[in-house]
Chain A
Amino acid sequence: MSYKMHVLVCGGTGCRASASQQIITRLEESLREKNLEDEVQVIATGCFGFCEKGPIVKIMPDNTFYVQVKPEDAEEIVNEHVIKGRKVERLLYKDPEKKEAVSDSKHMGFYKKQLRIALRNCGFINPENIEEYIARDGYSALAKCITELKPEEVIQEIKLSGLRGRGGGGFPTGLKWEFASKYQADQKYVVCNADEGDPGAFMDRSIMEGDPHSVIEAMAICGYSIGATKGLVYIRAEYPLAIQRLKIAIQQAKEYGLLGQNIFGTDFTFDIELRYGAGAFVCGEETALIHSMEGHRGEPTMKPPFPAESGYLNRPTNVNNVETLANIPAIIMKGANWFNKIGTERSKGTKVFALAGKINNVGLIEVPMGTTLREVIYEIGGGIKNDKKFKAVQTGGPSGGCLTEKHLDVPIDFDNLLASGSMMGSGGMIVMDEDDCMVSVAKFYLEFTVEESCGKCTPCRVGNKRLHEILDKITQGKGTMEDLDTLRNLSRVIKDTALCGLGQTSPNPVLSTIDNFYDEYLAHIKDKKCPAGKCKALLMYHIDPELCIGCGLCARNCPVDAIVGERKEPHFINTAKCIKCGACMEKCKFKAVSTR
């Protein structure tokens, strides 16, 4: 008996947090009541990427896409959609521009420009069921590699595909595997870097939650290619659902004989274990990660030696990011020449981005390299929230920079982002509008780096702290023009002398905001004004004598008695006393209080 209808319910972290488990239970109950349990199957999937509008329920075969579903909506979905074939209009996604309901996912701008390779199974299969993965050609790539190809042929294929590391560095993956394969040792290791430390990033988590087998299969393929029999996944302990799904997946792969000894009847053996990280950003750096796995402090060390020569327990180790790995089985199955036709000259394939900030469609997206920022922000992202004006987009997280209006038509790839003063990083993309202050943005990222610096080398430990202090001074309205020079010089010194990638890239948010928003720095320093109105210290509350009728309401609400004035006469704010709490502005019924 095959099912006539599949109801996919998102079981990703985001949607589970808003009760998607209960939705599943209620749907199943309701279907059972109507004797439909043999006709309609309810499936918990991984993330659809549309988390902000979650929980998501997708009905197939008609591709109906319901958003913000509540457990109590389950009955209506069954009664109306399943039984009568009528879509539940109020649960459909509303197009933010046209303001009308979109009938199915095929017509959603969010999905139109996307190409899903790494996310191919997320929101499509049940990640806790290995058979669904197998049905999607899962483990066929591993089978092909170990029964038909020599290790060097696999490496050749990956090299030819042009795949570059998605963890931030963009190093050619095939070349990395080749290095690791060349060193001889009694034991080699395949490490999956699932530390994902960028603030706001969750692409790796979603892959592990939605398609854990793709990572496992790829690690085994890598093991075969470089001659390793052991795999380790370094995952942050704050990812409980991803950990659980990986554990289930590893267990199932073992039961099916896809991990363990004599895989596919050959003499290839491979096993995977999990290692937990405490969630320090620097532990995502590969040498620090390896030290942390060995039980030492998670501090980076100088390269060379690269992990490919001497990594975990001083053995040759290949470290790859989760998303990099998720691409591997698809490349093997469809061929390097399929993959290298997608993307740009030197950046092949797709990239997953976590789209966030002042944008209508917040979520996880995967687009071909070479897609422009404009397409991502306006077509997929549905434009800026509340019809505000676009100001900047931050890419590359704490190591990246801010891009502006003039970069909107730049095709996104590793090299173009670098040339524009930012970087790909792991794929965070935060959109900012006219209300965001760029000096504060730079300060925010520096705060993060200061917090996360491991303290091993001086330029990063002390230098970033100084950068942060100067930025703070500027936002307080106490900055000078010399400070601007100091910021620039110090940034260069830190970039040139820091030991690891954290310090080498930490000044990027400062440099790129100075380059692209010089006037805004000047406004803070010279005019003592914050054009976006974000820096509290620079705000001046002011009562317009034309509008004020002297009712005294503001004065009664001011916590520090900073407002004076006679009844029925215009009032005044004593700016020396004012603590900028905003109470007067909120209370005034005549809009007489403003900031400037």
Chain B
Amino acid sequence: MEKIKSLADLKRIKENVQTKIDLREKSEQVESLVQIKVAMATCGIAAGSKETMNYFIENLEKNGIVAVVTQTGCMGYCYAEPTVEITKPGKDPIVFGHVTTERAEEIIQKYLKNDELVADIIPVNFDTIKDR
């Protein structure tokens, strides 16, 4: 074990270990962050939602977007899998259908960065358990 000999050493270690608890710190304040929920039930996984989720996790950071990525169960839109629900702070959730990795990139660039909408939005009109 290398010893901490200065404030700079401590800061360096902190930066290295920050990722360990990043996810937990973000979830403590989900209301103020972009929340991305990827539907990961049987049909979603079959349609590639796992790749989509990984893509979001890996590429959000690169684009400087702080977000919490979670998975949810069946959203009821099997025909449009992979589906992803995105809630920007203070806004209503929007559900995107057919989110392949290419579309994920498009959503990151357009919706998340510039607030532009993209095609294939599924209208949501029900409350989920989270809203209770």
Contacts and interface: CB of A to CB of B under 8 A. Distances in A.
Interface of A: 2-6, 8, 60-63, 83-87, 100, 103-104, 106-107, 124-125, 131-132, 134-137, 139-140, 143-144, 147, 255-258, 262, 264-265
Contacts of A104: 130
9 contacts: A8-B24, A85-B40, A86-B73, A103-B130, A104-B130, A134-B14, A136-B21, A136-B25, A257-B5
Nearest to B38: A85
Nearest to A144: B7
B21 A2 contact: no
Contacts of A140: 10, 14
A256 B4 contact: yes
A63 to B, nearest CB: 6
B68 A61 contact: yes
Given A103-B129, A256-B1, A257-B3, A2 B22 contact: yes
B19 A61 contact: no
A4 B30 contact: no
A103 B41 contact: no
Given A124-B28, A143-B7, A257-B3, 14 more contacts: A2-B22, A5-B23, A60-B27, A61-B23, A61-B70, A85-B73, A104-B130, A125-B21, A131-B20, A136-B21, A139-B4, A264-B6, A264-B10, A265-B6
Contacts of B95: none
Most interface-central of A4, A63, A100, A135 (chain B CB within 10 A): A135
A255 B1 contact: yes
Contact of A131 (B17, B28, B130): B17
A257 B13 CA distance: 13
A3 B23 contact: yes
B13 A134 contact: yes
B18 interface: yes
Contacts of A131: 13, 17, 20
Nearest to A4: B57
B53 to A, nearest CB: 7
Most interface-central of B1, B13, B14, B20 (chain A CB within 10 A): B20
Q: How large is the interface on B (under 10, 10 to 19, 20 to 34, 35 or more residues)?
A: 35 or more
Interface of B: 1, 3-7, 10, 13-14, 17-28, 30-31, 39-42, 53, 57, 68-73, 129-130, 132
Contacts of B26: 61
A84 B41 contact: yes
Given A131-B17, A135-B14, A85 B24 contact: no
Contacts of B53: 4
The 10 lowest CB-CB distance pairs between A and B, nearest first, are: A257-B3, A61-B27, A86-B73, A85-B71, A131-B17, A60-B27, A135-B17, A61-B68, A85-B73, A85-B72
Nearest to A2: B19
Nearest to A43: B24
A103 B132 contact: yes
Nearest to B1: A255
A242 to B, nearest CB: 22
Nearest to B53: A4
A256 B7 CA distance: 13
Contacts of B20: 131-132, 135
B76 to A, nearest CB: 13
Contact of B4 (A2, A63, A257): A257
B23 A6 contact: yes
B25 to A, nearest CB: 8
Contact of B24 (A124, A134, A256, A262): A124
